[in-house]
Amino acid sequence: MKPALKIALIYVLIGGSWFVFSSIFMDEIIQWLGLSNDMTLEIIKALLFVLISGILIYNLVQMSFKIEKRISKVYRVFFEKNPNYIFVLSLEDQRILTANEAALEHFNISEVDFGKKYFDSFFQDYKNISANKGGQNRVIRNLVMIDKNYDPRNVDIFSMPFVYNGTDCVMALAVDNSEIHKSLLENMALNDSLKAQNQQLRNFSFINSHHIRRYLANILGIVNMPNEKDKLSGEALEMLKQSASKLDQEVRKVSELLKVNDGFTLDEPIEEELELNPPQKKVIVFVDDDKVQHMINKRILLKINPNLELNFFESPYLALNWLSENEADILLLDINMPGMKGWDLLNYLEEKGINIEVKMLTSSVAPEDLERSKNYGQVSGFLVKPLNEEAVEEFINH
């Protein structure tokens, strides 16, 4: 029996029994209690009824609170320990009000940021999940979230209405499909490689059956001409020479065909070259308030030189503190950032005596920026966003 129904039945039984009993034996009760009239007994009955009602209601409320607390604890454990990333967002502007352990572990957010950071700051290409959709469940697939290491994570977002601390909010659950996406790309690359290999085999088969066998048959025919084994005519020798030359050319074609790369080692240096010319180890510092730029640049640089030590900062202040205590080879510095411009950081570097080669990052090189850069001996050039491999390789490996 449900606790609430059980308490209600007890309440009815006790209250009903008391009124029936007091009504039947009213005179005896008045005489036994020594009361002067019926009104006094009715007052006593009412007081006892209120007292019993209060006790029963108190027990019911306490039991309800305990059940709610147990349920809340279960939901809290589910929220915190869920392996997917869960965020609770403000319905109005999608500020992050709280997040579970998985989200805190993998993304650049802490509890002190709750109510300050916005959900769309973690996305490369974001679709608002709450505008005009606050009361509906939604699914947004194939988004890219940028984690605290500035690596892309392919996710599906499941959003639903949610009440948090008495306020209407949105719960966004991000399901990480990065491994599945990676496996899919690997399978696609394998499939492309198999197609290329099959085409190579078909080409080889065609050359072998149509070209090589043709000239080989000519040579064998001339050599085995009847009554000419001991002495071949000049014409036959010339034909034999031509067929041998053609056969040599076809064999060379086959050799070149077999040298064609299978697609998996394309653009990868052989081990001997790596040992003779290993990529230089350099420490690179990025200062840019755009997470997407960090993600893109990380991929480009590590592709060119996997031995690089990369340090990314969205805050110029944190970068300045790091450079005060650590050495680096190159600083890639964004010009326009909120709070502190790139030029301001250069001034602080000069004041602190921190000497480092600086490449300024910009979306478009304005003439005034070029002129201003001449005042800083550390600035060795400008790099236009987005970076390309040729520009990066020029200053990384030289």
Inter-residue contact 159 to 130 (CB < 8 Å): yes
Mean pLDDT across 317-334: 93
Place of tokens 């805050």: 315
* Bridge-based pairing state of the strands 96-99 and 138-146: unpaired
Structural tokens at position 16:
């009903």
Q: Is the pLDDT of residue 371 over 90?
A: no
Mean pLDDT across 88-97: 90
Structural tokens at position 72:
């809340």
Q: Is the pLDDT of residue 372 over 70?
A: yes
Predicted confidence band at 262 (pLDDT cuts at 50, 70, 90)?
Answer: very low
Place of tokens 């005519």: 233
When the pLDDT of each residue in the chain is averaged and rounded to a whole number, the result is 79
Inter-residue contact 313 to 334 (CB < 8 Å): no
Residue 370 is predicted with a pLDDT of: 82
Predicted confidence band at 59 (pLDDT cuts at 50, 70, 90)?
Answer: confident
Selection from 14-28, 99-113, 180-194 with the highest mean pLDDT: 99-113
Inter-residue contact 120 to 139 (CB < 8 Å): no
Mean pLDDT across 128-154: 80
Report pLDDT digits (tens) over 16-51.
776 777 677 777 777 777 777 777 767 777 787 778
Strands, E, within the chain: which ranges? 85-90, 96-99, 138-146, 152-164, 167-176, 283-287, 309-313, 330-334, 357-362, 379-384
pTM of the model: 0.59
HSE toward the beta carbon, residue 290, CA cutoff 13 A: 18
Q: Report the 10 Å Cβ neighbour count for 373.
A: 20
Share of the chain above pLDDT 70, in %: 77
The full DSSP string for 143-181 is EEEE-TTS-EEEEEEEEEEEEETTEEEEEEEEEE-HHHH
